Amino acid sequence: DAGVTQSPTHLIKTRGQHVTLRCSPISGHKSVSWYQQVLGQGPQFIFQYYEKEERGRGNFPDRFSARQFPNYSSELNVNALLLGDSALYLCASSLAAGDNSPLHFGNGTRLTVT
Amino acid sequence: AQSVAQPEDQVNVAEGNPLTVKCTYSVSGNPYLFWYVQYPNRGLQFLLKYITGDNLVKGSYGFEAEFNKSQTSFHLKKPSALVSDSALYFCAVRVHSGYSTLTFGKGTMLLVSP
């Protein structure tokens, strides 16, 4: 079975631009979460979606938004990019929200803002 | 608020020797604890979890972890290290709620020398 897939793998953007990152969960998984991993730090929670509804939001500005589609795939959007948004963006899926199953992570999208 | 501390930035061990990667946590309520491993330019791979039951949890690739409620610790261990175990290890905690949100430590780099 395919794991969590993310696209693109790498992206270079300029300050002020916007970006859209995409994620396809493991087949059968209905919950998708997004994390930001800055170099040298652990992942920080951005959003969780379950059944197309936002179930949780981390401490990120409104420039960050996300959505989940009927097929459970998800997009993360970031507007007005700042240099500090440069990071590895990780998508993770799980069977449901709030269950004990572990999160399964994709390989991430490396975003560089110049 | 929940938090995780990994007090060591790096752990060095010789191949064949036992290894320990330390983790302490702080939560209100019963913790769900996880260990993940990250290889260069990759996402996080699930190693093991503690939800309830036996304090010694066995996971993938020969790793195990010991939950100690009185010391609020969840140290990762392996009886005999391999060079291929060299990677970045993250401890994470979740409190039972309607969400699967994980709070991660900053990570510990494990270096196993031949």
* Sign of torsion over alpha carbons A98, A43, A93, A89: positive
* Nearest residue in chain A measured CA to CA from B44: A105
* Nearest residue in chain A measured CA to CA from B49: A102
What is the pLDDT at residue B101? 83
* DSSP helix/strand/coil, B61: helix
**Record: contact A105-B102, CB cut-off 8 A:** no
> Any CB–CB contact under 8 A between B93 and chain A?
no
What are the structural domain ranges in chain A?
5-113
What is the pLDDT at residue B35? 97
What is the pLDDT at residue B64? 97
Burial A70-94 (b: 16+ CB within 10 A, else e): eebbbbbebeebeeebbbbbbbbbb
A97 interaction partners in chain B (CB closer than 8 Å): 98-100
> Any CB–CB contact under 8 A between B77 and chain A?
no
What is the pLDDT at residue B14? 98
> Any CB–CB contact under 8 A between B49 and chain A?
yes
Strands B64-68 and A64-68: unpaired
A60 interaction partners in chain B (CB closer than 8 Å): none
* B71, B11 Cβ separation under 8 angstroms: no
Which candidate in B100, B101, B102 is best for mutational testing of the A interface (most A CBs within 10 A)? B100
Distance (Å, whole) CA A69 – CA B72: 39
> Any CB–CB contact under 8 A between B30 and chain A?
no
B107 interaction partners in chain A (CB closer than 8 Å): 41-42
Collect the ranges in chain B with pLDDT lower than 70.
95-100
CATH topology of domain A5-113: Immunoglobulin-like (2.60.40)
The tokens for A8 are 């693109």
pLDDT tens for B28-58 read 888 899 999 999 878 899 999 998 888 999 9
Chain B: closest CA distance from residue A15 (Å): 24
Tell me what the mean pLDDT of segment A51-60 comes to.
Answer: 90
Share of chain A above pLDDT 90, in %: 83
What is the pLDDT at residue A96? 72
What is the pLDDT at residue A16? 97
Beta bridge partners of B73: B24, B68
**Record: contact B42-A107, CB cut-off 8 A:** yes
Chain A: closest CA distance from residue B107 (Å): 6
The CATH number that applies at residue B68 is 2.60.40.10
What is the pLDDT at residue A1? 58
A42 interaction partners in chain B (CB closer than 8 Å): 4, 90, 92, 104-107
What is the pLDDT at residue B2? 85
What is the pLDDT at residue B27? 87
Chain B: closest CA distance from residue A16 (Å): 26
Distance (Å, whole) CA B55 – CA B74: 9
